[in-house]
Structure 1
Amino acid sequence: MAVFLKRLAKAAAPIAFGGQTKSGSPIRFGALAAISGGITSYYLFSSSHDLVYLDQLNEDTTPKVALNPDKWIEFKLQDKVQASHNSQLFRFGYVPNVKLGLDVASCIITRAPTGQNAEGKTKYAIRPYTPISDPDAKGYFDLLIKVYPEGKMSQHFASLKPGDVVEVKGPIEKLRYSANMKKHIGMIAGGTGITPMLQIIDSILKNPDDNTQVSLLYANVSPDDILLKKKLDMLSASNPNLKVFYTVDNPTKDWLGGRGFISKQMVVKGLPVPSDDTLILVCGPPGMMNHISGDKAKDRSQGELTGILKELGYTEDMVYKF
């Protein structure tokens, strides 16, 4: 397991998927074994020849999904590896042959104890994360987390050792994606805001009947901060309906991508024009959100559309903020 994760992290593609590209060539990062079992019902004819139903034997009592939206459930850390200079990949395990119960696109809520309040009750740090593993995967899920010096939850994750547990609740549905819901989807992501975008990208690319065109603008501080770059590069090279453009605030001398914040020019050049068949997805830190689209409202509803997307003629029904 450790060797497997290290290879994935080194490639900046820390999840296992199977399927085909739009061109028909296979993509295999790992294999998932699906084991199905049947339930046998037993009947007995009585002496009066009446059919008597006996209790079903070998009934499968395994839950259909691992998550529960109303209950905190403990998931055990199987392994973790360094994915970048300030990000780590965590794999959590649970009952084999059971799906997590995650829809595209949705997230989970995690919590960790941080001490006690004045009444002696446990205080918790609570934070949402979007798994980057395939929603159809069974027995595990992967989180890619940027560890901040002052981040209570990310520091807690960084302190975990294999065998430790984290409490999870969910899923929390964000955008309910369905195949071909729009002709062209534009994505603007900053930092770990790439995670819900990846959920949707993978859903599109592994479905041969989904013809959605995807254009991604991905902003980071430096080239070293770009998460999943090799995976994104591989996917875009293998699938003509995926275009990816990177921009960084602090480029290196040999950097060939964009420079600076995402601009109007980048949006005009890289994303679909405003139309009824266009959807723009935005996810990133508050400063980026305010610049691009405006942040969500205080009640976490979508709020008013502002920023450069509004200036370029997009309307609220064309934009979704994660």
Structure 2
Amino acid sequence: MATTFFRRLAKSAPTTFSRASRFHGDSGFGTFRFPVGAIAALSGGLSYYYSSSDNNLVYLDQEKEETGPKTALKPDKWNEFKLQDTARVSHNTQLFRFSFDPSAKLGLEVASCIVTRAPVGYDSEGKPKYVIRPYTPISDPEAKGYFDLLIKVYPEGKMSQHFASLKPGDVVEVKGPIEKFKYSPNMKRNIGMIAGGTGITPMLQVIEAILKNPEDKTQISLLYGNVSPDDILLKQKLDALQAKHPNLKVYYTVDNPTKSWKGGVGYISKDMALKGLPPPGDDTFILVCGPPGMMEHISGGKAPDWSQGEVKGILKELGYTEQMVFKF
């Protein structure tokens, strides 16, 4: 039987429970479409690989034991986490809840990510080969005994297909956390966010961290782009947060609107950013997360060495600098 969280989630999104789901739908992601093979690190729009080689297959050395506080996550050791339950969130996106010892803390900071691996056979010497992908949990980092991953599944996505094949009781190997963006309360007066598809995952971590802290007065503006209204992940959850918290403003836009759609239409534009984001300034910070094409359009991608790189695209045109923008 589904957990309380999943029953609640089913009411806040077009969710169908499935313990052996088949995924149907196109390969659209966020506000742009790309060939499936061109999109890496799909969840959370992360442009980061923990390690990679041809075909994103890696060979892993024996890990050393870590000593320190009791945490479920280890930065240099692969640990197994058991799948507790699943829930369908959209036609091609599913939520996965994994459990761990509730007496230990997960060890995740806002908004860091974890790294997962799955076996994909053996090489000519009989050594195991793995595909590795990073994901940003959407559950509260302080949650006891579980964490949740929101994953978009593609027909040719090695890791996402592995997740789709899992049944409750199966395990996934996880390492981490990997720090992406370290949030601290009231670090800026205004935080603007631009997300596409599952790029919403790190944004949700930051949003919930701000809204649950009554001492945090940060003003949040989110521009969220998707292919269609049905692709908007956890929309009712975001709407509920917006209705309860006046310091959160959310604006949606989709490529393919329905007749009843009342939000924005088309790719996130310069005009949308101008109207929906806080203006450039020392007390403004903009977070961007989405597929590569969206990133190039909005902020420019990361540098070849995975550092932040220079700000390009719409944000540069509007006057935002490298000190004001973070790319997940």
TM-score category, normalised to shorter length: 0.7 to 0.9
- Determine if contact 2:103/2:145 at 8 Å carries over to the other structure: yes
The aligned residue for residue 322 of structure 2 is: 316
Determine the structure 1 residue equivalent to 2:190: 184
Whether 2:97 is the aligned partner of 1:91: answer yes
Amino acid at match of 1:2: A
Q: Deviations over 1:1-29 (max 9, x none)?
A: 51532441341399xxxxxxxxxxxxxxx
Q: Deviations over 1:253-288 (max 9, x none)?
A: 110000000000000000000001000000000000
Separation in structure 1 between the aligned mates of residue 274 and residue 280 of structure 2, nearest angstrom:
10
Match of 2:2 in 1: 2
Question: Pairwise mapping of residues 64-143 of structure 1 onto structure 2 (< 5 A)?
Answer: 64-143=70-149
Partner of 2:272: 266
1:231 counterpart (226, 231, 237): 237
- Residue pair 1:185, 1:213 contacting (<8 A) in 2 also: yes
**Greater RCO, CA 8 A, separation 6+:** 2
Which is higher, the Rg of structure 1 or of structure 2?
Answer: 1
- SS of the counterpart of 1:148? coil
Which runs of 5 or more structure 1 residues have no equivalent in the other structure?
15-60
Q: Residue in 2 aligned with 1:28?
A: none
Aligned counterpart, 1:253? 259
In the TM superposition, residue 62 of structure 1 has moved relative to its aligned partner by 11
Q: Secondary structure of the equivalent of 1:2? A: coil
Going from structure 1 to structure 2, the CA distance change for 1:290 and 1:157 (only over 3 Å counts) comes to: same
Tell me the equivalent position of 1:18: none
CA distance in structure 1 between the aligned counterparts of 2:174 and 2:78, rounded to whole angstroms = 5
TM-score (norm 2): 0.82
1:72 positional shift = 0.5
Alignment partners' CA distance in 2, 1:259 and 1:157: 32
- 1:202 match: secondary structure: helix
Deviations 1:78-104 (CA, angstroms, capped at 9, x unpaired): 111211111111110011232211001
Structure 1 runs of 4+ aligned residues shifted over 4 Å read none
Tell me if the contact between 1:194 and 1:283 (Cα under 8 Å) persists in the aligned partners: yes
Displacement, 1:118?
2.2
Distance in 2 of aligned mates of 1:238 and 1:189: 21
Aligned to 2:25: none
- Distance change (3 Å), C-alpha of 1:13 and 1:129: farther
Q: How many residues align?
A: 276
Identity of aligned residues (%): 76
- Contact 1:72/1:168, CA 8 A, preserved across alignment: yes
278-287 or 2-11, which deviates more: 2-11
Residue equivalent to 2:12: 11
Alignment correspondent of 2:292: 286
Name the amino acid aligned to 1:279: F
- For 1:152-171, list aligned pairs within 5 A: 152-171=158-177
2:226 matched to which residue of 1? 220
Q: Aligned letter for 1:195?
A: T
C-alpha separation between the residues in 2 aligned to 1:307 and 1:167? 37
**Amino acid aligned to 2:2:** A
In the aligned structure 1, how far is the partner of 2:149 from the partner of 2:313? 30
Check whether the contact 1:6–1:81 (CA below 8 A) recurs between aligned residues: no
Out of 263, 277, 281, the residue aligned to residue 275 of structure 1 is 281
- Secondary structure at the residue paired with 2:288? strand
> RMSD value over aligned CA atoms?
1.6
- Cα distance between partner residues in 2 of 1:149 and 1:13: 21
Matched residue SS, 1:171: strand
The SS at the match of 2:243 is helix
Tell me, in whole angstroms, the C-alpha distance in 1 between the residues paired with 2:103 and 2:68.
9
Aligned partner of residue 82 in structure 1, secondary structure: strand
2:87, 2:96 within 8 Å by CA — same for their partners in 1?
yes
Matching residue of 1:43: none
For 1:154, the aligned partner's letter is S
Deviations 1:171-212 (A, max 9, x none): 000111000000000000000000000000000000000000
* 2:204 paired with 1:198: yes
Match of 2:150 in 1: 144
In structure 2, C-alpha distance between the alignment counterparts of 1:300 and 1:185, rounded to whole Å: 23
Q: Is the 8 A contact 1:10 1:83 kept in 2?
A: no
Counterpart of 1:243 in structure 2: which amino acid? K
2:14–2:90 CA contact under 8 A, matched in 1: no
Partners of 2:254 and 2:8 lie apart in 1 by 26
CA distance in 1 between partners of 2:166 and 2:272 (Å)? 40
Distance across 1 between alignment mates of 2:10 and 2:137: 15
Q: Secondary structure at the match of 2:178?
A: strand
CA shift for structure 1 position 109: 0.3
> What is the deviation of 1:299?
1.6
Q: For residues 138 and 176 of structure 2, what CA distance do their matches in structure 1 show?
A: 15
